[in-house]
Amino acid sequence: MTKKTIPLVALALAVLTACGGNGGTAAGGGNTLTVYVSGDVNVRDLYQKTLIPSFEKANADIKVNLVFSEHGQNDSAMLNRLGASVKTNSDAPFDVVDSGIVKNAARGQLADTLDKSKIPNLAGVNEQLLVPVDHRAMPYRGSSVVLAYDSTKVATPPKTMAELLAWIKANPGKFTYNSPNTGGSGDAFLNTVLTMHMDPAAAQKSSQAYDKSIQTQWDKGLAELKSLTPMIYQNVYPNGNQEVLNLLGKGQIAMAPVWSDQVLAAKQSGLIGESVKLAQITDPPFSGSPTYVGVAVNSKHKDQAAKFLDHLLKPETQAEIVRKMSGYPAIGADKLPADLQDKFKGLDTTNLRAGFETQTDADAKQAWQKTVP
């Protein structure tokens, strides 16, 4: 997703519109907790219908004001506002944040260090997931890109990236991925192919920091992707993650990279048939990531924010996130109800390969657009 800064007046109007007029962008007074969230409408629904009601029921003295930005259109401006509020020692624009800006806020020390004594359920989260952001952000759900295939047409799915590329070339018209600029599953396919042709040190650095010099190692990967174009379904790259799922559900393709949560939700609703199975590849695997939440370093409601974060990690809350979003749990599957423990059977929900960092990813998308279609 391309992020851009928008004027503050436009931001205020956009946020009021997104929230239905339920409050401004400054963190609330008294015991009102302002939570800034961005993403698709399913994320908004998760907060409005599940997370906030259950939290307010358990904490009758705390009210939550949701500020939602669809597709993160206000993310850059909100991050700028947070930075300005810290610099001028003024009120934070939110208390809790769940959006693509969390890691940048953590790296810039605009997010507060998590106090484990106030968030006891953090003890149930894999410690390694906290390290990349210096314990200033907390994972509360996750997802990854997986390989979906029609088991009536593919008896044995590829297990490695090299095997997948060989299968695509041997089965023209049976595979596709969306253009990387229109969705994360296609973007994951792009950066995975690029990664398999990079040396390990450069591949690791590409997920952590921007270094334009490593892009000289993309030539082989881009050539590989261009060579696949004649093999792609109708030689046209679909627009968005959902269009790829639609093609798979209609039986027009036999295999594609898809988001785990999106395909599991589609299977649960019946939009995707039972014949569609999921697998993970290796060497390298498709990328995946936890979804992080953080607390503004200058929030005036840190105790309430800690209670909210702790609530997100409660087994009963995690179970609802799995049910409503098909998101990977942030806690061990053994802590979930029995009926959910096998939901991700066959998928590794803990070892998630990080994709390219933001600017590197933007450069990769631009290089794909110039080279591949």
Give the model confidence (pLDDT) of 253-285 as tens digits: 999 999 998 999 898 888 899 999 999 999 999
Predicted pLDDT of residue 334: 87
**Interatomic CA distance for residues 21 and 25, integer angstroms:** 11
Q: Residues 10-33: what's their mean pLDDT? A: 51
Does residue 294 surpass a pLDDT of 90?
yes
Question: Longest Cα pair distance anywhere in the chain, in angstroms?
Answer: 64
User: Which is nearest to 239 in space by CA: 179, 187, 196?
Assistant: 179
Does residue 19 surpass a pLDDT of 80?
no
Q: What percent of the chain has pLDDT over 90?
A: 70
pLDDT, one tens digit per residue, over 83-117 is: 999 999 999 999 999 998 998 899 899 999 999 99
pTM of the model: 0.78
Structure tokens at 25: 């962008």
Chain-centre distance for alpha carbon 328? 11
The domain made up of 143-287+354-371 has a fold known as D-Maltodextrin-Binding Protein; domain 2 (3.40.190)
User: Which is nearest to 296 in space by CA: 126, 104, 71, 9?
Assistant: 104
Tell me whether domains 8-136+290-340 and 143-287+354-371 share a fold.
yes
Predicted pLDDT of residue 25: 53
Domain ranges for the chain: 8-136+290-340, 143-287+354-371
User: Which is nearest to 312 in space by CA: 22, 21, 33?
Assistant: 33
CA dihedral 21, 24, 28, 29 (to 10 degrees): -100
Does residue 71 surpass a pLDDT of 80?
no
pLDDT category at 351 given cuts 50, 70, 90 is confident
Q: What is the helix (H) or strand (E) element at residue 20, kind and residue range? A: none
3-class SS at 362? helix
Pick the CATH number of 8-136+290-340 from 3.40.50.970, 3.40.50.300, 3.40.50.170, 3.40.190.10: 3.40.190.10
Chain-centre distance for alpha carbon 351? 15
Does residue 20 surpass a pLDDT of 50?
no
Q: Residues 122-128: what's their mean pLDDT? A: 84
Backbone angles phi, psi at 294, to 5 degrees: -145, 170
pLDDT category at 28 given cuts 50, 70, 90 is low
Predicted pLDDT of residue 10: 37
Residues in the chain: 373
Structure tokens at 183: 């969705």
pLDDT, one tens digit per residue, over 38-58 is: 987 889 999 999 999 999 999
Contact criterion met (CB below 8 Å) for 38 and 72: yes
Predicted pLDDT of residue 229: 97
Mean pLDDT across the chain, nearest whole number?
89
**Interatomic CA distance for residues 228 and 364, integer angstroms:** 17
pLDDT category at 26 given cuts 50, 70, 90 is low
